[in-house]
Amino acid sequence: MNRTDRLYALVEELRAVAPRPRSARWLAGHFEVSVRTVERDINALQQSGVPVYAEPGRTGGYCLDKARTLPPVNLTPGEAVAMAVALRQLEGTPFRGPAGSALRKLVAAMQGDDAAAARDLAGRIHLLGDAGTMPSVPRLVADALSSPRVLRIGYGDREGAATLREIEPLGYVGTATHWYLVAWCRLRDAVRAFRTDRISAVTITAEVPPPRALRGEDLDIPYGTVRQLTLS
């Protein structure tokens, strides 16, 4: 068993007996590795965010917080490929990178035969033309809401005049052709929308911006209807 498979199997073993613990010695015997290897594997899982903790005592061991984990994801090969096709529509948006990472995690969690079938099916699908029409969003701009910091950006307006701005990111607005980063602009002392393809440079500062709400009136766009994204 390679290490990737063993890490996955470790989580499933701990999930199966949770909240009871499994000792490092028991796990080492079960997976036919050394206790030191088990300890390294557990440390790797903890570093990646898996909620595994050590319970001390003679009957202690490693436990999994079952309430903070998900059961195995059982995507069909067709569902996995459908998600991959849908991701092509995210090219040029701030969410292409996280979406690709999420799909890789889901495929890694599939049963081995299903994952192989999904890869075979994907290899039979070909798309004509470019993946998207919008320019890509700089990674630091795409991460602006996930890691809230004041950004220092170089920005060119529609006439091509360049300015240096310090902004406090608040949200995104996407249209059929462009994405905009909505932010509090310290130069203008007001909310502004910055077209992402006009951002020429980005620097993340160490400053955490003060809390600001993105109000409906801040998105008073004179054309079209703005709809908030939901996950339901």
β-pair type (52-55, 151-156): unpaired
Q: State yes or no: pLDDT of 47 exceeds 90.
A: no
- What are the residues whose beta carbons fall under 8 Å from the beta carbon of 42, sequence distance 6 or more? 10, 24, 52, 62
For residue 206, what are the CA distances in angstroms to 48, 149, 157, 165? 24, 7, 26, 15
Residues linked to residue 62 through DSSP beta bridges, in sequence order: 22, 54
Rounded distance, CA 141 to CA 157, Å? 17
**pLDDT number for residue 112:** 78
Look at residues 190, 135, 199, 142 and name the one whose alpha carbon lies nearest to residue 168.
Answer: 190
Would you state the structure tokens that stand for residue 127, as one six-digit string?
A: 């798309």
**pLDDT number for residue 224:** 61
Q: State yes or no: pLDDT of 186 exceeds 50.
A: yes
Mean pLDDT, range 69-83, rounded to an integer: 75
pLDDT tens-digit profile of 20-38?
Answer: 899 999 999 999 999 999 9
Q: Which residue has the tokens 């033309």?
A: 129
**pLDDT number for residue 225:** 65
Q: Residue 87's pLDDT band (boundaries 50, 70, 90)?
A: confident
Q: State yes or no: pLDDT of 16 exceeds 50.
A: yes
CA angle, residues 21, 23, 25, in degrees to nearest 5: 160
**pLDDT number for residue 232:** 42
pLDDT: which is higher, 63 or 74? 63
The SS3 assignment for 97 reads helix
pLDDT: which is higher, 182 or 126? 182
Would you state the structure tokens that stand for residue 194, as one six-digit string?
A: 């910055």
Rounded distance, CA 176 to CA 179, Å? 8
Burial of 115 (0-12, 13-18, 19+ CB in 10 A): middle
Q: State yes or no: pLDDT of 204 exceeds 80.
A: yes
**pLDDT number for residue 2:** 80
pLDDT tens-digit profile of 110-160?
Answer: 777 888 888 888 877 766 555 555 667 777 888 888 778 999 999 998 888
Mean pLDDT, range 52-81, rounded to an integer: 78
Rounded distance, CA 230 to CA 103, Å? 19
Burial of 33 (0-12, 13-18, 19+ CB in 10 A): middle
Q: State yes or no: pLDDT of 70 exceeds 90.
A: no
Cβ pair 185, 199 in contact under 8 A: no
Greatest mean pLDDT range, 40-49, 82-91, 107-116: 40-49
Residue ranges of alpha helices (H) inside 110-200 are 112-122, 139-142
Cβ pair 10, 23 in contact under 8 A: no
**pLDDT number for residue 153:** 95
Q: Which residue has the tokens 């300890």?
A: 39
What is the dotted CATH code of the domain comprising 139-215? 2.30.30
pTM confidence score: 0.56
Burial of 166 (0-12, 13-18, 19+ CB in 10 A): middle
**pLDDT number for residue 11:** 87
**pLDDT number for residue 108:** 77
CATH of range 3-68; options 3.40.630.10, 1.10.1020.10, 1.10.10.10, 3.60.15.10: 1.10.10.10
DSSP, residue by residue, 39-55: HHHHHHHHHTT--EEEE
pLDDT: which is higher, 106 or 150? 150
